[in-house]
Structure 1
Amino acid sequence: MTSSPPDSSRDQTPASRRGSSLQGNSRLGDSLFFGASAGSGILLLIIMGAIAGFLLYRSGIAISKDQTNFLTTFEWDPDNILKPSFGIAVLAFGTIVSAGIAMLIAVPVAIGIALFISHYAPRRIAQPFAYLVDLLAAVPSIVYGLWGALFLVPHLAGLNSWLDQYLGWTYVFRISHHGSPARSLFTVGILLAIMILPIITAVSREVFRQVPRMHEEAALALGATRWEMIRTAVIPFGRPGIISASMLGLGRALGETIAVATVLSASNVLSLHVLDAGGGTFAQNIALKFGETGTVGRDALMASGLVLFVITLLVNGAARIIIARRKEYSGANA
């Protein structure tokens, strides 16, 4: 009596069913993930559009009541019943100058610290040092502001006098009102540089750690020194990350409120002497005057917020264009 061969199709049916079930679950997961990602992107665009629309609406109401030029006027008196007048000239100048000073100080220092942690310092030193730098990002803005007002301002008098004595010929570092405290845009720039330093350092450090090991070893094998290896292999690879980190830091510098309001002596005087007390920024002006203004004043503050919103978008857009148009920023070509 001959036995019939086993039915192979019957043995393969459960396995094929499990495979098709797993494949179906995978496709369902991919679809859900794609839908969630696309929905998040669309939601972000809707939120940005809603913010822009709200600011445009309130800004239009304010500018229609302004009796002066909104872009060039120094005065800020929107609640004047007879002649509402307000402009952003002083605020735009103070915001750009203080943020520029902060970037000039913070970016080179942050890149140097990131390179030290990632390529120079021993591991037992690099790790605690990295934690210490990251800890600065957790310090509240009000603490920075109090430290700046109580410690930084009094101790910058000597530096301001030195700059006035040796660099006063540049007109920018000339003190026109001697004896005034150092509550100036220069002081604000130094304070902002300290505040944005951990952000730029942290992002740059992580980017430098992603440099392919083969690139570094190839440069060293060709006889390059450590600095030449960093200059030819690490920095070109990490340049997009450096730009992104700088833009993150610049975004905080442009929008910082409490620390600037604590340190800077607000005034409607526009002075090209960065060591003179006075000036103002968009965020500081909004924070100081929002609670004490009337209806027109709040709309005027919304208009100034719209200008800051546009400046931030332009800065980030310019950074993206620079990265996209420069092929050498690509890490694959480093």
Structure 2
Amino acid sequence: MAHPTVFAPESPEPADRPRRIVVRRTRADHVFRWTTRGVAMLVLALLAAIGGYLLYQGSSALDRAGWGFLTEDAWEPKGGTFGVRGLLTGTVLVAIVALIVAVPIALTAALYITEFAPRRLRGVLTSIVDLMAAVPSIIYGIFGFFVLQPQLIPVSRWLATNFDFLPIFEIRTIDVKARFVDSQFSSSLFISGVVVSTMVIPICCAVSREVFGQAPIGEKEGALALGATRWGVIRAVVLPFGRGGMIGGVMLGLGRALGETIAVAMIISFNTDFSFRILDGQGSTISSLIVLKYGEADTESISALMAAGLALFVLTLAVNTVAGVLVARSRSGKSTEI
């Protein structure tokens, strides 16, 4: 008699579990990890030490001035009346003018070097740009004072003549009878911004060039194979891939423009009046204030200058923080499409 076949119940399969990966670091890995961590902490400590020192040295001036430090224009520490409203405005306006002039030139030069320049010429242009970024600011100041300033006076006159309906180009402090005398246009925030832009161009160009040069070759060749033009490849591959680098280069240039001292002091006449007009010779920058007033400053004036330096420090730190956020949100290659 045949016995019926009995099927044993299947044993349940074990549930899938993620494999645990164990990283075994060598001694060299640990040394490198703690060294880089220590260097990063040292940078943060130095940054905090600089801010703390400026705050400590400028605390007495801030106590005397109160909130008037941010709303006053006059700079008379001995009289107890001093503020940085006009100086902060001048600093920002010079930086904005510098970026408006420098960024298009820098990005165009970077694209030409990476995408259009012949191979032999590319190395020469790269070396020239890198050398320009290392030139001391005093050299740019001399170049701006003797070469750019005379050439920019007609430009300032033309802007004042044709665009004076815009508040930024309006002139109020110049005598109407001598409205278009060249000497009255030789010292302005506009000319200072253009001179500072000559220092910003190499920095922006060098950073953007490095990022553009790292654009993926496969995607560029794929776009060309699909019929894209050279500009189409740049617009669809190179620029999206280098967006974060472009923002980083622009912000580095902005930091240079905000803190530039010697070139601005050589061009602009020291004036602490608050004004949004960039052609009428009003306004100055915090950095030029410090370099011009430090030599003759007493204890109270030095405290006020330290407070002004603290304001510039906070402004630069805020700009760099915003730059970090923008670069993090615009990672290179994040939105590259063909």
Matched residues, number: 305
User: Partner of 1:331 in structure 2?
Assistant: 333
Mean Cα displacement is larger for which, 112-121 or 181-190?
Answer: 181-190
- Distance, in Å, in 2 between the alignment partners of 1:190 and 1:244 is 21
Match of 1:55 in 2: 54
Q: Are 2:271 and 2:284, in contact at CA under 8 Å, matched by a contact in 1?
A: yes
Distance 1:130 1:124 in 2: 11
In the TM superposition, what is the alpha-carbon distance from 1:283 to its structure 2 partner? 0.7
- Give the aligned residue type for 2:163: L
Counterpart-to-counterpart distance in 1, 2:76 and 2:84? 12
Look up the match of 2:193. 189
Q: 1:120 aligns with which of 109, 116, 123?
A: 116
TM-superposition CA deviations, 1:98-123 (whole Å, max 9, x none): 00111111111101000000001111
Instruction: Give the gaps of 5 or more residues in structure 1.
Output: 1-23
Return the alpha-carbon distance in structure 2 between the equivalents of residues 150 and 236 of structure 1.
40
Query: TM-score normalized by structure 1?
Result: 0.87
Map residues 253-264 of structure 1 onto 2, 5 A cutoff: 253-264=257-268
Distance 1:232 1:253 in 2: 31
Deviations along 1:70-126, one digit per CA (max 9) or x if unpaired, are: 11101000023xxx1100011100000000111111111101000000001111222
Q: Deviations over 1:173-193 (max 9, x none)?
A: 233323214210000110111
- C-alpha separation in 2, matches of 1:285 and 1:153: 21
Q: Does 1:170 align with 2:177?
A: no
Instruction: Report the alpha carbon displacement of residue 58 of structure 1 after superposing the two structures with TM.
Output: 2.1
Q: Percent identity?
A: 44
Report the equivalent of 1:69.
Answer: 68
Letter in 2 for 1:70: F
Instruction: Measure the CA separation in 2 of the matches of 1:35 and 1:171.
Output: 55
Give the corresponding residue for 1:7.
Answer: none
For 1:266, which of 270, 283, 288 is the aligned residue? 270
Which has the higher mean CA deviation after the structures are superposed, 242-251 or 49-58?
A: 49-58
2:292 is the counterpart of 1:288:
yes
1:164/1:174 contact within 8 Å kept: yes
CA offsets, 1:153-195, max 9 Å, x none?
2222211111112212213223332321421000011011111
**In the TM superposition, what is the alpha-carbon distance from 1:276 to its structure 2 partner?**
1.3
1:314 has 2:318 as partner: yes
* Cα distance in 1, alignment partners of residues 312 and 55 from structure 2: 12
Alignment pair present for 1:300 and 2:304: yes
**SS in structure 2 at match of 1:265:** coil
Structure 2 vs 1, CA of residues 150 and 313 (structure 1 numbering), >3 Å: closer, same or farther? Answer: same
| C-alpha contact (below 8 Å) 1:207/1:238 kept by paired residues | yes
State how far apart, in whole Å, the 2-side matches of 1:262 and 1:222 are: 54
